Structure 1
Amino acid sequence: MSTPPDSPPPGTAPLDDSPVPDYAALHRLDGRVHVVLGAGNGIGRQTTHALTAAGARVLCVDADKERTRAVAAETGAVPYVADITRRAEVRDLFAFCARELGAVHGVVDIVGMARYADLADLDDAAWDWHFDIVLRHAWLTVQYGAEAVAASGGGPLAFVASVSGLTGAPRHAAYGAAKAGLVSLVRSAAVEYGPRGVRVNAVAPGVVWTPRVAGLIGAEGRRRNAGNAPLGRVAETSDIAATLLFLSTPLSAYVSGQTLVVDGGVGVKFPYPTVGGPS
């Protein structure tokens, strides 16, 4: 390979003397205040554990009072009950956090749910429900949460999207369209709030073994989905929480506007039968 004419000869480039960060410290969130929305179960519970283990002070928000209190008791987080599809409740929870815990340095929004149905069978109520539970709260979280984080000097917002918003699947039309909207919202928010020091990203899981999924597909569904994944298993809720932790720490300080797929490699497989391979 020839050397480009404007490149220095090999071995003559200036020595890199840039400062080396304390990489171990970049894992930490000591003293920083983070809000977890949808913290009462599954991925939200694990994310609350992950953030508190990294030193964060966490406001643990969920619509279910008992679950919220249980997770807060496990982790030392502060419980808060709210329906985050309602503007006033989102506004009030961020005001409470700033008043009781101090400046808000980061937000993780996990809330979302699907009711699977054929596209032809979807009615107005089902369509509206998906956009309310999947997308509306994320929009409100950006409006109030990103403002709160910007006011504290900047920091991360992380959302849970889905591979359903990046691909197509039977019976996923409303859910997938709402998640695709979330992915677009993340990009736009990253552009608008970046100049104020706010990073906005999302995680797009595939199949995750949450209590809801376990009840939906059972052991046989888990076996089939594990066999479909190059890593040979379905995701645990802790796998997604670990990724959200990365997006919430200074380790990801130059990552913004991205949707990180966490699906065990399913989405990169060749989608057709392999010619000449095992039958």
Structure 2
Amino acid sequence: MASILRGAAFITGAGSGIGQYTAYAFARYGVRQLALCDIRPESLEQTRSELKKRHPEVEVLSIQMDASKEDSINSAVDQTVRKFSRLDIAVNNAGIGHQDMTHELSLETWRKVMSVNLDGVFLCQRAQIRQMLKQGPLDPLPRGNRGVIVNVASMLGLVASSPVTPAVAYTSSKHGVMGLTKTDAVMYAPKGIRINAMCPGYVGTPLLKDTVASGGMSSEVAKVPQGRLGEMEEIADSITFLASPMSSFMAGHGLAVDGGYTCQ
């Protein structure tokens, strides 16, 4: 497998799902220093163990981190830099969901979703930018950079949620992630920091596969032009593209990987 990634990488929500598969993809495509962050230590250990089994040469730092807490986030970035001396690639993936319409949504749920999905991305990105501004590029400009950030938003950061799956707080938070991504991409591109967002569609997590198999959400999957759920490996590979020099002239973009759903 070609090595298209270099440097030290940092992934939140790495204990499962997209974050876990992104860790595997990063190791497969060349990363040799990898910080894995998640609030669940048992899930982190599962990812770390599998990663070391597949890629024993990769140096892994496991960090228990609460993506809604400023001190926890700052500590995770500090630990990464102390261990690896720099931070070259950051993937802000941690997030939570819900299904509620506005008239049924409590303020507590709204704030909880926002605290992880939007506040957490802002706090991670702020800490990462502060570090990246202190370091020089690994590779020569213009294709080199001082650091790359990929925020995991959602296709619901680009369009409204469906009445079948109402999620006003989640959708609002992901639109916020897109606003944060675009604004900081413009602000920090001249300083050699590249920021983009990944916007996955319906992805075949175990929970969603079970839901579809039982008849739930079948009408939503039927709307996907490719006629299927995405695979987590497909999302991870797309995040790898955004983190790599192959996307070196992309900044502030929300890359929809959704089987064509948002084209309709």
Instruction: Compute the TM-score of the two structures, normalised by the length of structure 2.
Output: 0.87
Aligned counterparts of 1:101 and 1:212: Cα–Cα separation in 2: 35
The one of 141, 159, 169 equivalent to 1:167 is 159
Question: Do structure 1's residue 128 and structure 2's residue 111 form an aligned pair?
Answer: yes
**Mean Cα displacement is larger for which, 168-177 or 212-221?**
212-221
Name the CA shift for 1:218/1:109 in 2 (closer, same or farther; >3 Å).
Answer: farther
Q: How is 1:196-235 mapped onto 2 (pairs within 5 angstroms)?
A: 196-221=191-216, 223-235=218-230
Question: Do structure 1's residue 90 and structure 2's residue 66 form an aligned pair?
Answer: no
Aligned counterparts of 1:116 and 1:69: Cα–Cα separation in 2: 29
**Mean Cα displacement is larger for which, 222-231 or 85-94?**
222-231
Deviation at 1:105, TM superposition (A): 0.5
Stretches of structure 2 lacking an aligned partner (at least 5 in a row): 53-59, 137-145
Aligned counterparts of 2:63 and 2:211: Cα–Cα separation in 1: 28
Aligned counterparts of 1:172 and 1:109: Cα–Cα separation in 2: 20
Q: How is 1:241-256 mapped onto 2 (pairs within 5 angstroms)?
A: 241-256=236-251
Alignment check: 8 A CA contact 1:186 1:200 kept: yes
* 1:32-71 C-alpha deviation (Å, 9 max, x unpaired): 1000010000101100001111121210111110110111
The residue type paired with residue 37 of structure 1 is T
Aligned counterparts of 1:84 and 1:197: Cα–Cα separation in 2: 26
The one of 170, 185, 190 equivalent to 1:190 is 185
Deviation at 1:184, TM superposition (A): 0.1
For 1:164, what is the secondary structure of its paired residue?
A: helix
Q: How is 1:146-161 mapped onto 2 (pairs within 5 angstroms)?
A: 146-153=129-136, 154-161=146-153
**Mean Cα displacement is larger for which, 176-185 or 205-214?**
205-214
Name the CA shift for 1:129/1:212 in 2 (closer, same or farther; >3 Å).
Answer: farther
Aligned counterparts of 2:101 and 2:192: Cα–Cα separation in 1: 42
1:51 is aligned to 26
Deviation at 1:156, TM superposition (A): 0.8
For 2:225, what is the secondary structure of its paired residue?
A: coil
2:16 is aligned to 41
1:144 is aligned to 127
2:256 is aligned to 261
Question: Do structure 1's residue 61 and structure 2's residue 44 form an aligned pair?
Answer: no
Aligned residue pair count: 244
Aligned counterparts of 1:261 and 1:98: Cα–Cα separation in 2: 31
For 1:229, what is the secondary structure of its paired residue?
A: coil
Deviation at 1:227, TM superposition (A): 3.0
Deviation at 1:152, TM superposition (A): 2.6
Alignment check: 8 A CA contact 1:225 1:234 kept: no
1:106 is aligned to 89
* 1:118-153 C-alpha deviation (Å, 9 max, x unpaired): 111112111111111210110001110122223232
Deviation at 1:260, TM superposition (A): 0.7
Deviation at 1:110, TM superposition (A): 0.9
* 1:66-124 C-alpha deviation (Å, 9 max, x unpaired): 11011112213321111121111111111111111221101001111211111111121
Instruction: Compute the TM-score of the two structures, normalised by the length of structure 1.
Output: 0.82
Alignment check: 8 A CA contact 1:105 1:152 kept: no
The Cα RMSD (Å) is 1.8
The residue type paired with residue 251 of structure 1 is M
For 1:99, what is the secondary structure of its paired residue?
A: helix
Deviation at 1:251, TM superposition (A): 0.8
